[in-house]
Chains A and B, each alone.
Chain A
Amino acid sequence: MATLEELQARITRLEDIKQIEKLQRIYGYYLDYNEYQKVVDLFSDTADSVEIADYGVYKGKKGVERFYLELLGGKPPRVGELSIGMIMQGVVDLDHNGKMAKGRWYCMMIEAKPTLSRHEGELKQLWGNGIYENEYVKENGKWLFKKVFFFLNFRTPYEAGWLKVPVVGQHGPSTQVPPDAPPTFYYPYPSGIHLQPHYKHPITGK
């Protein structure tokens, strides 16, 4: 029979996983509504980085602010612009001391965006899909993002589909709000290059 202290440690780990799942989902809801300051406030002040698709790496909390507030939030969304991200199927793993965690998630996207550039051109309706491999840190009893990394699998016009047109609307790093480093892993469909998970095989340990 476990001691009270051991049970406390076990329930704490379950609570931590639940809090991280909520953090990730709340992040998604804020992004859907273009609430970028609220997104930034979900990151630790000691955040490593944010890297989405081919925008490049934005480092530190300053980089997180530049990416969300200046690049994505630089102009209010146009009428009809739509950005829904359905964040699903989390696999969240805590490290042994319960201070850091990693999570892998699918994101299915329903969008209406201009694809020629971020702010101009005709709106297109798009399907998108990708994978998050994120890192979380516990500070003062609360879980925050340490790192957000999003691997874009496809973003395709509704009418075309991923087989015919795998990616539209990605034009590499911004020149107005440049990243701190180029993209580290941008290989959308059909590259055949996959984003490996943070976790080891649960049975074989490989």
Chain B
Amino acid sequence: MNLEELEKRVTLMEDIQEIENLQRRYAYYFDLQRWQDIVDLFSDNAESVEIVDHGLFKGKEGVKKMYWDWIGQGGKSFRETWVQFIIMQIGGVVDVAPDGKTAWGRWQTWLCEAKPFGAYPRQEWLHGYYENKYVKENGKWLFSKLHWNNTFCSPFEDGWLNTPLMGLMNYHPTVKPDAPPSAFHPYPSGYHLPYHYKHPITGE
């Protein structure tokens, strides 16, 4: 092994670590409701973002629509103090492309939330899987695509078996997605979100 090969291997380890941190920072910003900071974690050439049944938002413009205009309510007011998004990022499987410029990551999330739903404040458990894409630009990793696929969104009082889905979240009076949700099939559909990776041993 020469120095160049060693440098490549060290870079790969650093890349994986940075991508894991990027994904986790995203969730902490979400918890802190720092929507502009989330938008700034995406590449200017971002492909898309898709969360639960909100639909598919394309490009960096779409990213702004999703986080700032829709979830962040246009930044016009801070949310009520009781609103809470605890998003635990678990089980990262990060694979960097051989050229070291793009990467894919699968994660799962377990969420503990409180937010207004209909006329009432509600507390709920959520679970879902991410399949995300990342891109390295000027030495820094950014999101190029984020897809969060929701397994359930259930009121704390009921649980996922009784109420798998608290309700639809696919309507906003002014913010419209570029395409409908691509894979919104909550429990108990049995839907499997495809893996970006091949089986590590059989290669299938």
Residues of A within 8 A of B (CB): 4, 7-8, 11, 14-15, 18-19, 22-23, 25-26, 28-29, 33, 38, 41-42, 77, 79-80, 82, 84, 86-88, 108, 110, 112, 123-125, 142, 144, 158-159
Contact = CB atoms under 8 A, between A and B. Distances in A.
A71 to B, nearest CB: 21
Contact of A29 (B9, B13, B93, B187): B93
B13 A11 contact: yes
B119 interface: no
Nearest to B3: A4
Given A125-B161, A158-B159, A158-B161, A42 B200 contact: yes
B161 A112 contact: yes
B92 interface: yes
A88 B160 contact: no
Nearest to B192: A33
Contacts of A77: 190
B174 interface: no
A87 B188 contact: no
B93 A26 contact: yes
A82 B200 contact: no
B90 A87 contact: yes
Contacts of A29: 91, 93, 106, 108, 129, 195
A38 B203 CA distance: 10
A79 B92 contact: no
Going nearest first, the 7 A-B pairs with the smallest beta carbon separation are A125-B161, A80-B188, A158-B159, A25-B91, A125-B159, A86-B90, A11-B9
B77 interface: no
A88 B91 contact: yes
A41 B190 CA distance: 23
B110 to A, nearest CB: 6
Contact of B199 (A28, A41, A124): A41
A108 B125 CA distance: 14
Contact of B127 (A26, A110, A159): A110
Contacts of B6: 4, 7-8, 11
B27 interface: no
B187 A82 contact: yes
Contacts of B195: 29
B91 A80 contact: no
B162 interface: yes
Interface in B132-186: 151, 159-162
22 contacts: A4-B1, A4-B6, A8-B6, A11-B9, A11-B13, A18-B16, A22-B200, A29-B106, A38-B202, A41-B201, A80-B187, A80-B188, A82-B188, A84-B108, A86-B91, A88-B90, A88-B91, A112-B160, A112-B188, A125-B162, A142-B201, A144-B201
B1 A8 contact: yes
Contacts of A42: 200-201
A163 B195 CA distance: 37
A158 B16 CA distance: 36
Given A15-B13, A26-B200, A87 B91 contact: yes
Contacts of B127: 84, 110
B197 interface: yes
Given A29-B129, A84-B127, 8 more contacts: A4-B3, A8-B6, A11-B6, A11-B9, A26-B197, A84-B151, A110-B110, A158-B161
A7 B200 CA distance: 26
A39 B108 CA distance: 18
B81 interface: no
A79 B190 CA distance: 7
Given A15-B13, A25-B93, A110-B127, A142 B110 contact: no
